[in-house]
Structure 1
Amino acid sequence: MRDVSRKWKEVKLADVVSILGDGLHGTPKYDENGDYYFINGNNLNGRIVIDEKTKKVGIIEYEKYKKDLNDRTILVSINGTLGRVATYNGENVVLGKSACYFNVKDDYSKNYIKYTILSDKFRNYLNTHSTGTTIKNMGLKQMREFTFQVPPLQEQKAIAHILSTLDEKIEVNNQINKKLEEMAQTIFKHWFVDFEFPNENGEPYKSSGGEMVESELGMIPKGWEVRELEDIAIITMGQSPKGSSYNEHGDGTVFYQGRTDFTNRFPVRRLYTTEPKRIAKTGDILMSVRAPVGDINIANEECCIGRGLCSFRSKNSMNSYLLYILLNLKEKFDVFNGEGTVFGSINQKDLKGIKIIMPNDSIVKYFNDIATSLDKKYLYLEMESRKLTNLRDTLLPKLMSGELRVPLEDDDIS
């Protein structure tokens, strides 16, 4: 083991990067058949996130506006939502003005600098030095002036290795959960939209000649029926407690106000209330009832729900099946987004009256058993990731400040 009395030094961001610049101030010529994505700060989330809404450009626009992005590049959002971070991994992209980029010098650990940018110290710096009231903006000059402490390179790598290991496990869990969700959705669509559920011989129903009959929602398998949502679910509309009962230190019942408390599948604790009004039980499905209507989470504990939410509970103890019905009704909920003078919303009467196609009980139970198994795996990995995230967030400031030192072996850590 080496002596842990290793000296740290104070540097500015400008000292550790070879270049720090921003993206295109303007709009490129888009090309839906192009091979290059036009990204902004909202595409940054640990990595560059590309989705169906991301616009594309062709080779001419790319050559005109490309930047010197390489394996030492870190991207940061500096306009609108500040401080979103991603490492560059070779994607074909053109940067918009709300993203800046900098290339870390070889004598500093790129990942250590990334975690410095993810630290509370840098976020506080952004909030203090940004301009604008409605839309925040961080200037490149101020970015260059950000000051922080760095240890010797080997210790930088060791610190980054610890934090990266936690992030990698979280990302693995996220990818597994994404696959689990895709599996359940694929089965649901195949069975209840395409009507290819297994018949008594284990063959896909419709393509094997299964009988179809007319209904008010179109052709459906014989023995199925059109029902209203209230026939299969208990629907509870949220009601917000008095504001004076709110607290953040855990006094009373956990309180979810609306979709701002939602994550991919389970809400996060922010507030508690000592005077809960409407309660959702563990396993209840929570849905946003104010714009955007129809976002879904699951209550993983008993909680109070505010007026931005409602809860659903299956009347026949088949919540996993109900979950996938609701996820696939999103477009129906959007119909109600125009209701209300300020916010789009949906009320209990409208929810109760939504028409759904209801299979026979045996098919519902079969799917519910499959979905429940997938949902349990999803919950386990999600809760594990939350624990790992809390551990990372606890370690990060202690490691980055030198409060917690990392013992080093003689061999270098890459």
Structure 2
Amino acid sequence: MKYNQWPRVKIAELCELIVDCVNKTAPSVDYETPYKMIRTPNIKGGRINLTGCRYVEKETFKKWTRRATVDKGDVLLTREAPMGEVGYVDFTDTVFLGQRIMQYRADPQKLDSAFLLYSFLSPDLQYQFRRHDSTGSIVSHIRVPDCSEFEISLPSLDEQRKIASTLRNIDEKIALNSHINTELEAMAKTLYDYWFVQFDFPDANGKPYKTSGGKMEYNTTLKREIPTGWRASNILSLANLLGGGTPTKTKPEYWNGSIPFFTPTDSDKNIYSLNTQDSITELGLKNSSTRLFEKNTIFITARGSVGRLALNAVPMAMNQSCYALKAKQGVSFAFLYFLTKELIHHLEVKATGSVFNSIISNDIEYTYLALPEDNDLIDKYAKKTELAFAKIELLTKENQHLIALRDWLLPLLMNGQVTVK
């Protein structure tokens, strides 16, 4: 078929629609049970993350659910808080839906469920979600009756499956890369904890130091035992602490240049930061208190989303809501990354009972950690882990390209402008 000749069909003719499955008063418990309740925060960007879902008892599940569970292949749409997020049920756990979520169960004779997912993620449907945003409301939301009014372009089932398969292959590669990165980071952190927290680094005979009876001494500063020859020191003995700044917004010539500008909103779950929402010009860099931080500087968010870390994969500037730690000569950035994570953990423990809503330079300067007296052990750790960091950076960049490819293909495939051979 030619571009734009696919019929437009209402979702209600292709799916069973199921409204919010659980009453708002359904009580949850603070321990795991087989009965999970998906909430709107669990749904984002086509994915459903069961981490952080609520748990209820079996009796509550039976009492409050009108439909027992979601089925694999269902597509979920958040109607409010936030509005318009979409997720695909790709699991068989016993779960049901909290408030403000619409459930779409595709008729397999008419509609491929994965094709429905990508239709919902397309600019076409995202525009329809915004168009149906109820006016006059404080919070953006989609009314239940409007959830049956959305229309999609509908090719044949065979064409639907080809399109969905193409996009799913890209998403699966992205997910695989992310999984590999998670495993690589976990391996590097496990080795860090084993050597520098549990003190079971290799001794002169290659055996675990503390477990094999290595000599320990009580440190009055840390108020615990550390290996003989180690010291209590702050992270600034191994890194320089640097601040950032923001060019004035009143000078448009300072903004939208070629220099990435890191802020707390750019921090995510990735170790490496590749792109930023904002960028500045050379003129903006010159006329502000920020500077150009070279690759593998560690950014710490000090306000906003406090305590998140990122390594810059390219030179970046940074605003004043962050700190930067630059490893001193001869110190591995990989070691410094996990040392900084340990520092943040100590700050979080100190803040127990109070609000951990900011980090100041004194927090970093006056938090002491156990460090080896020389860098030999740090160098050994670097040799074992920096290749993992290089692989993480490579896969993060690959995912960036894959996401750009998917987002470029998505509207073209969904409106028939591009076809799958």
- Paired residue type of 2:296: G
> CA-to-partner distance for each residue in 1:170-198, whole Å, 9 max, x for gaps?
01111111111111111111111111111
Distance in 1, Cα, partners of 2:295 & 2:168: 33
Which residue among 215, 238, 245 is the counterpart of 2:244? Answer: 238
**Aligned match of 1:251 in 253, 257, 261?**
257
**Is there any run of 5+ residues in structure 2 with no aligned partner, and where?**
none
Structure 2 partner of 1:326: 340
Q: 2:381 — aligned with what?
A: 367
Contact preservation (8 Å) 1:251, 1:272: yes
Closer, same or farther: CA 339–272 of 1 in aligned 2, 3 Å: farther
- TM-score, normalised to structure 2's length? 0.89
Does the C-alpha gap of structure 1 residues 172 and 245 become closer, same or farther in structure 2, counting only changes over 3 Å? farther
**Secondary structure of 2:19 counterpart:** strand
Tell me if the contact between 1:73 and 1:101 (Cα under 8 Å) persists in the aligned partners. yes
- Relative to structure 1, the CA distance from residue 170 to residue 142 in structure 2 (aligned partners, 3 Å threshold; closer, same or farther) is same
Output one character per residue of 1:127-162: Cα deviation in whole Å (capped at 9) or x when no partner: 332237553322221121112211111111111111
**Partners of 1:245 and 1:368 in 2: how far apart?**
43
- Residue 15 of structure 1 is matched in structure 2 by 13
8 Å Cα contact 2:70/2:95 also seen in 1:
no
Contact 2:297 2:326 in 1 (8 A): yes
Provide the C-alpha distance between the structure 1 equivalents of 2:279 and 2:49, rounded to a whole number of angstroms: 33
1:367 and 1:27, CA in 2 relative to 1: closer, same or farther beyond 3 A? farther
Which piece of structure 1 moves more, 299-308 or 134-143? 134-143
2:164 alignment counterpart: 160
CA positional deviation for 1:208: 0.3
- The CA distance in 2 between the partners of 1:146 and 1:30, in whole Å, is 33
Q: Deviations over 1:15-45 (max 9, x none)?
A: 2102332232313232425211122011124
| CA-CA distance at 1:297 after TM superposition | 0.8
Change (3 A) 1:134 1:201: farther
2:58 is aligned to: 59
Could you tell me whether the CA contact under 8 Å between 1:293 and 1:333 is conserved in 2?
Answer: no
| 1:127 maps to 2:126 | no
- For 1:348, the aligned partner's letter is S
Shift of 1:318: 1.0
Using a 3 Å threshold, how does the CA distance of structure 1 residues 189 and 133 change in structure 2: closer, same or farther?
farther
In 2, the alpha carbon distance for the partners of 1:21 and 1:7 equals 32
Q: Deviations over 1:26-76 (max 9, x none)?
A: 13232425211122011124443122x433112222223144522331112
Q: What stretches of structure 1 of length at least 5 have no aligned partner?
A: 408-414
Question: Counterpart of 1:85?
Answer: 86
Q: Distance in 2 between matches of 1:41 and 1:159?
A: 27
Q: Provide the residue aligned with 1:50 in structure 2.
A: 50
Matches within 5 A, 1:267-306: 267=273, 268-274=275-281, 275-276=284-285, 277=288, 278=290, 279-306=292-319
Q: Which residue of 1 aligns with 2:27?
A: 29
In the alignment, the residues of structure 2 paired with residue 68 and residue 207 of structure 1 have an alpha-carbon distance, to the nearest angstrom, of 49
Q: Note closer, same or farther for the CA distance 1:27–1:247 as it changes in structure 2 (3 Å cut).
A: farther
The question of whether the paired residues in 1 share the 8 Å contact of 2:174 and 2:402 is answered with yes
* Matched-pair identity in %: 25
Q: Secondary structure at the match of 1:198?
A: coil
| Structure 1 residue 204 corresponds to structure 2 residue 208 | yes
Aligned equivalents of 1:93 and 1:200: distance in 2? 53
Per-residue deviation, 1:80: 0.7
Q: How much has 1:239 moved relative to structure 2? A: 0.7
From 110, 113, 117, the equivalent of 1:114 is 117
CA contact (8 A) 2:199 2:209 kept: yes
Following TM superposition, by how much is the alpha carbon of 1:265 offset from its aligned partner in structure 2, in angstroms? Answer: 2.1
Instruction: Give a deviation string over 1:88-107, Cα, whole Å, max 9, x none.
Output: 22121121103221101112
How far 1:381 moved relative to its partner? 0.9
What is the aligned residue count? 402
How far is 1:263 from its partner? 4.5
* CA shift digits 1:365-386 (9 cap, x unpaired): 1112222111111111111111
Q: Using a 3 Å threshold, how does the CA distance of structure 1 residues 307 and 25 change in structure 2: closer, same or farther?
A: farther
Match of 1:70 in 2: 71
TM-score (norm 1): 0.90
SS state of the match for residue 281, structure 1?
coil
Structure 1 range deviating more: 355-364 or 158-167:
355-364
Q: 1:257 to 1:6 in 2, by over 3 A?
A: closer
> 2:161 matched to 1:147?
no
